[in-house]
Amino acid sequence: MNKGIAITGMGIISAIGNNVAENHASLINGRKGISRISKIDTIHKDAIMVGEIDFTNQELEGHLGLSPENNYCRTAMLGAIAAKQAVAEANIHDINAHKTGLVSATSVGGMDMTEKYFYDYIEQDTHRKYIEAHHAGDSTQKIAEQLGIEQSLVTTISTACSSAANSIMLGARLIKSGKLDRVIVGGADCLSKFTINGFKTLMILSDTYNTPFDENRKGLNLGEAAAFLVLESETLVKAGNKKVLSYLKGYGNANDAYHQTASSENGDGATLAMEKALRIANINPREIDYINAHGTATANNDLSEGRAFIRVFGENNVPDFSSTKAYTGHTLAAAGSIEAVYSILALQNNTIYPNLNFKTQMKEFQLRPQTELKEKELNTVLSNSLGFGGNCSTLIFSKNA
Amino acid sequence: MKKVYINGVGSISTQRTFDNKAFLEEVIVYEDNVITVVDPNYKDYIPPAAARRMAKGIKMGMVASKIALADSGLENVDAVITGTGLGCTIDSEKFLGKLIDNKEEYLTPTSFIQSTHNTVAGQIALGLGCKGYNFTYVHASISFESALLDALSQLQNDEENNILIGGIDESGEQTIKIHKLIHHVKKEAVKSTELLNSGTEGAIFSEGANFFVLSNKKQQNSYAEIIATETFNTLSKENLPLAITSFLKENKMDIADIDTLILGNNGDISYDPYYHILSEGSFKNTQQLYYKHLCGEFFTATSFGFWLASKLLKTQTVPEVVKLNDLNNNGIGTVLLYNQYRGENHSFTLFQKC
Amino acid sequence: MGNIKLELKEKIIEQLNLEDMTVDEIADKDPLFGEGLGLDSIDALELIVMLDKDYGIKLADPKEGKKIFESIETMAAYITEHGKK
């Protein structure tokens, strides 16, 4: 039997809350964080809805106590806030006391500043400090700095919408192979004009609330968020007599190798990822009590993912599933860690969070997501994250090691 | 733990390295502050229908990966893992430029889609029909080493048998322009043979794609064994020697076991002192080599250093042009590669003759 | 109409980077997607923007493009009927 990796802390900031407790409250109260965009001036503001975090950049700088000379992009600040919460919950006081690494994920990185100052950089020197903050790795370096991680393994993954699931997966493998004793894993992405316009050109942005797995779904809402988990080795957990929130039991990444952006119609990649994760966890599909679906509410994703569910579980045996993207929007590279936090909350509270906004079953199959808050004994939860470039990832969380 | 070997290489760089038969017999000397790769004929490798949307970096990555795969004699691999510091800069700049210039109107999806960091890894998988593990690391100057570390652990633990890894970065016009403003690019043109004596700040910016097939099965034409790699987000000059000795110790070696040290000096007067600590200190009696005068500086330039180490170990020859000191060995057995960029994101990689 | 067809062929070659093709190689009735020219869903999105930018035709749903982009002939016909520029 494969041993799970202990999760001892988690932190999150999203459109439905600035910490784990607030996110949980919104989830159980069906309170979505989707609204018209307020912090980015875009011509699409009346045509799209987003999951925006309330804090302005200035407020975030205040929270982190950054000096006025700082060159943190929004992604770095969101990431630092969530990562600090995770470390605090794990009760870590001397972060360098054990081999501690950081694996973050982002797709936007410092694009929010780059798009603001693209031409300004050339004209004047006022904002040039942000030039170095553009590349994806910089946001992770900043998060490490905020956590006080030094002389250690700090890296960044960017595989589009599956990025944070992949950073969690890598973290688990680094602990398993003995490279690290503990690792902070997750992802962060802020909203940017770049991504808004990018998704707009793909014509997959809904002009209203996103409706995952609904026959009449019109596309996704973009969101911004960050979430991190602390993973620790068995030895550290035992030595510190630490409280374990849940265990990462299985993980799998596979490539659809079908199309640059679209998922294959029969969900090859997602099927392979789920099968791999089940194999690593060494459990039977029947043992999955709940699936936190990727469910972006695009025509393509929900069909492909639904078909993959049927292939893995059988049409009549698909476990209860829901997509929480109706709450947060699609938070891109952060989504995998946001939904990891929600999966762990589900286990801790024996609660399935509803798939909001669902009305009509899709005609291609007999699958209906869980649309009401449901309390039931949960032992094992599966979470999917599927991205551009055919990148498909699955994580399995469990109450028991 | 299984041993891991380099079984195929493919390099597109500012030297004519795409031809695997050659090994720096002819060297191009540049006198500039930004240099670009010697292009192979991309059309020989990529069908026009697939190539029509690809910016240069994607083409470089696709072709370097094909050369490496062919060199290894394999048809496919179990996994594809890439590293890129800046990702697909050209497409990002193109999309952002249009977005600003056209005030968010009439934008088309192609450059947005291509701008995603994992485009190259995704395209390679698509081209090969490889449905396996597919990761992309984007962490500045350790992007390539992160990919390497990931592949090494999977191969050592026998989770996979053959993995394609690579480092790719392309030069975007705007990126170069703004990095000149903050003096990360040298102000003046420097002759590549004089790079280390420039006495100025900044580096010669460049681009490149270097791919490798790593395998836990040795074959006749294997280049070298790769023992370990380790990365550090921060490391002070004072702590550098100790970090190296602990890294070597973990691999049951000490400084005397290293017969060749490859350093990442890029001629930046502010940061080359990191390398001097080693070249003038604990490794002063070791044969020392450098390579960034050949390939320029970019976030995944160490993938060129990795290529150099592979070639050295296989051919057992040291091209004159890469020598940093006058020490010579009888043969090359164990090679250590050290790099940092602007004092951050340090990496050590250890190779052995096989 | 003849002019529009030639114009469309030139635009498609340029916009979609079909650099190895010439206008003579695209027949009016050739299917643009799949078997014919081999265009895909990303190209369809590019063509939708072209309709908007050059002919003032807005398509809200990419599915609408399917019929319109069948061939140069169907595109030209649609533009002649609906074009505003």
Contact A261 B113 (CB under 8 A): yes
Average pLDDT over residues A336-359: 98
The A residues from 109 to 138 touching C (CB cutoff 8 Å) are none
Would you state the structure tokens that stand for residue A4, as one six-digit string? 């799970």
Element (H, E) at A129: none
Q: Would you mind telling me the total number of residues written for chain C in this entry?
A: 85
For chain A, positions 189-228, list CB contacts with chain B under 8 A.
193-194, 197-198, 200-202
CB contact under 8 A, B48 and C19: yes
- CA-CA distance, B138 to A106, in Å (whole number)? 9
Question: Based on the number of CB atoms within 10 Å of its own CB, is B97 exposed (0-12), middle (13-18) or buried (19 or more)?
Answer: middle
A248-398: CATH topology is: Peroxisomal Thiolase; Chain A, domain 1 (3.40.47)
DSSP string, B253-309: --GGG--EEEE---SBTTTTHHHHHHHTTTTTTSEEEE-HHHH-B-TTTHHHHHHHH
State the Cα–Cα distance between residues B263 and B287, nearest whole angstrom: 11
Cα(A106)–Cα(A344) distance, integer angstroms: 22
pLDDT over 90 (residue B152): yes
Which residues contact residue C61 at a Cβ distance below 8 angstroms, ignoring those fewer than 6 apart?
A203
Quick check: is A135 catalytic? Answer: no
Percent of chain B with pLDDT over 70: 100
Question: Distance (Å, rounded) from C-alpha B110 to C-alpha B91?
Answer: 8
Which residues from chain B sit within 8 angstroms of residue A150, using beta carbons?
A: 233-234
Contact B182 A173 (CB under 8 A): no
- Given a cut of 90, whether residue C13 has pLDDT beyond it is yes
A 233-262 near C (Cβ less than 8 A): 259-262
pLDDT of residue C1: 58
Judged by a CB distance cut-off of 8 A, whether residue A216 touches chain C is no
Q: Average pLDDT for residues A133-141, to the nearest whole number?
A: 98
Query: How far off is chain A from B271, nearest CA to CA, in Å?
Result: 16
In this predicted model, what pLDDT tens digit does every residue of C37-65 receive, in sequence order? 889 889 999 999 999 999 999 998 888 88
pLDDT mean across residues, chain B: 97
CB contact under 8 A, A389 and B233: no
d(CA A318, CA A312): 8
d(CA B277, CA A213): 60
Domain locations in chain C as residue ranges: 2-82
Give, in degrees to the nearest 5, the angle at Cα A252 between A247 and A255: 155
User: Which amino acid is residue A345, in one-letter code?
Assistant: L
Query: Residue A274: phi, psi to the nearest 5?
Result: -65, -40
What is the per-residue pLDDT across B76-113, written as a single tens digit (0 to 9) for each? 999 999 999 999 999 999 999 999 999 999 999 999 99
Residues B134-150, mean pLDDT to the nearest whole number? 98
Q: Quick one: closest CA in A to C44, which residue?
A: A202
% of chain B residues with pLDDT over 90: 98
Q: Least CA distance to C47: which residue of chain B? A: B108
The contacts of residue A227 (CB under 8 Å, 6+ apart) are: A10, A11, A12, A13, A14, A82, A164, A186, A187, A334, A337, A338, A340, A341
For chain B, the farthest-separated pair of C-alpha atoms sits apart, in whole angstroms, at: 65
B58: which 2 tokens?
Answer: 């994607």
Query: C59, C65 in Cβ contact below 8 A?
Result: yes
- Residue B36 has a pLDDT of 98
Range A198-208 average pLDDT: 97
C-alpha–C-alpha distance, residues A249 and A258, integer Å: 28
- Please tell me the distance in Å from A126's CA to the nearest CA on chain B: 12
What would the DSSP string read from start to end of B8-77?
A: EEEEESSSS-SSTT--SSS----EESB-------GGGTS-HHHHTT--HHHHHHHHHHHHHHHHHT-S--
Task: Give the CATH superfamily of C2-82.
Answer: ACP-like (1.10.1200.10)
* Strand pairing category for A50-51 and A222-223: parallel
pLDDT score for A75: 98
What DSSP string describes B197-214? G--BSSB-B--EEEEEEE
The amino acid sitting at A222 is L
Residue A162 has pLDDT above 50, yes or no: yes
Q: Do A261 and C42 touch (CB under 8 A)?
A: yes
Please indicate if any CB of chain B lies within 8 Å of the CB of A60: no
User: pLDDT for B197-211, tens place per residue?
Assistant: 999 999 999 999 999
Per-domain boundaries in chain A: 6-239, 248-398
Q: What ipTM does this complex have?
A: 0.98
pLDDT tens profile B210-221? 999 999 999 999
User: Do residues A336 and A166 lie in contact, with contact meaning Cβ atoms separated by under 8 Å?
Assistant: yes
User: What does the pLDDT read at residue A66?
Assistant: 98
Count the residues in chain A. 401
Burial class for B160, CB neighbours closer than 10 Å (0-12, 13-18, 19+)? middle
B170 Rama class: left (phi>0) / alpha (psi -120 to 50) / beta: beta
What number is the average pLDDT over the span B290-300? 98
C-alpha span between A363 and B224 (Å, rounded): 56
- Could you tell me what percent of chain A has a pLDDT over 90? 96
Which residues of chain C lie closer than 8 angstroms to B113, CB-CB?
Answer: 42
A287-314: pLDDT as tens digits = 999 999 999 999 999 999 999 999 999 9
pLDDT of B170 > 60? The answer is: yes
CATH topology of domain B4-215: Peroxisomal Thiolase; Chain A, domain 1 (3.40.47)
Beta carbons within 8 Å of A178's beta carbon, 6+ residues apart: none
Residue A390 near residue A256, CB atoms below 8 Å: yes
Which chain C residue has its CA at the smallest distance from B49's CA? Answer: C18
As a three-state string, the secondary structure of C11-49 is: HHHHHCCCCCCCHHHCCCCCCCECCCCCECHHHHHHHHH
pLDDT number for residue A1: 47
Look up the CATH number of domain A6-239. 3.40.47.10
- The closest CB to that of C42, out of B48, B106, B110, belongs to B110
Tell me: the pLDDT tens digits for A25-68?
999 999 999 999 999 999 999 999 999 999 999 999 999 999 99
Superfamily, domain B227-352: Thiolase/Chalcone synthase (3.40.47.10)
- Of the partner residues C40, C45, C61, the one whose CB lies closest to the CB of residue A202: C45
> Least CB-CB distance to C52: which of B48, B53, B106?
B106
A330 as an active site residue: the answer is yes
- The model's pLDDT over A65-118, given as tens digits with 9 standing for 90+, comes to 999 999 999 999 999 999 999 999 999 999 999 999 999 999 999 999 999 999
